[in-house]
Amino acid sequence: MWGGRLRSRLRRGGGSVLSARLAPMPPRRSYDRAPADPRPTTIEPGYVRTADGSALISQGETRVICTASVTDSVPRWMEGRGRGWVTAEYAMLPASTGDRKQREISRGKQDGRGVEIQRLIGRSLRGVVDFEALGERSVFVDCDVLQADGGTRCAAITGGFVALQLSLAKLVEAEELERLPLDQSVAAISVGIVDGRALCDLDYVEDSTAEVDANVVMTGDGGLVEVQATAERTPLQRAQMDELLELAEGGIARLREVQEQVAGALPA
């Protein structure tokens, strides 16, 4: 009887209800997140006792140790200018991705991906530093990925800034600096389009199937430091880019709250 009613309904054009019921549901995101939600994020300050500043950032299943080391010298090409310098290095532990990743020292050179990422981290951090206030000092920010589940470069920037801020705050506390030589904060997050949906903070599963993925670096006042976007299959439309940037802005605002909880808000 039910089958007869259904066939009668389909003949009358009532199949739209059935089609809606059978339409595939969008896949559930990790941690049951909405499209605009970043992964749960924690930052543990002072994780490495021997570093001038350090933080362990956990963003979902991605974990990165960030340390900042201060030296009383600058690169030779900067000597005598009265300005400081900030640079960064990035590496992944062999077991960070599941399949063992060969150490770079055993290959005799750094891979191109690592070089590109550490340059991004360095540029992002330098964009918010007052080098004259820092004086002739260098800060080396080292970011080592313990476990990778997408967004490692963005987590390194977010956690690296906390390590940098803590190392500089220590100089202020020791009265080696008059004030914190930071103009504002900086953080980063990944966004992308997966199965036609714009999503914030992609994990590895989402990133590996994304039609579009982007890394967005933004300062505390909403300024863009860098946007790295790649369309894997179809060109990215301007309206889609605007939507991704809006998602990134909201996600970075939440990361900035976590930064301030552990390192303190910057002086106005």
- Per-residue model confidence (pLDDT) at position 7: 44
Residue 9's pLDDT is what? 43
The pLDDT tens digits of the residues spanning 221-243 come to 999 999 999 998 788 899 999 99
- Among residues 202, 184, 185, 196, which one has the least CA distance to residue 248? 202
Q: Give pTM, 2 decimals.
A: 0.88
pLDDT tens per residue, range 118-132: 999 999 999 999 999
Predicted pLDDT at 5: 46
- Is the pLDDT assigned to residue 20 strictly greater than 90? no
| Range with lowest mean pLDDT among 51-60, 61-70, 97-106, 204-213 | 97-106
The b/e string for 33-56 (b: 16+ C-beta within 10 A; e otherwise) is beebbbbebebebebbeebbbbbb
The tens digit of pLDDT for each residue in 142-169 reads 999 999 999 999 999 999 999 999 999 9
Dihedral pair phi/psi, residue 162, rounded to 5°: -60, -45
CATH superfamily of 34-263: GHMP Kinase, N-terminal domain (3.30.230.70)
- Of residues 110 and 150, the one with the higher pLDDT is 150
**pLDDT reported for residue 26:** 66
pLDDT-derived band at 3 (thresholds 50, 70, 90) equals very low
Domain boundaries, the chain: 34-263
39: nearest Cα among 25, 58, 56, 26: 58
Q: What is the overall mean pLDDT for the chain?
A: 90
Residues 28-40: tens digit of each pLDDT? 899 999 999 999 9
Angle at 59 between CA 40 and CA 161, to 5 degrees: 115
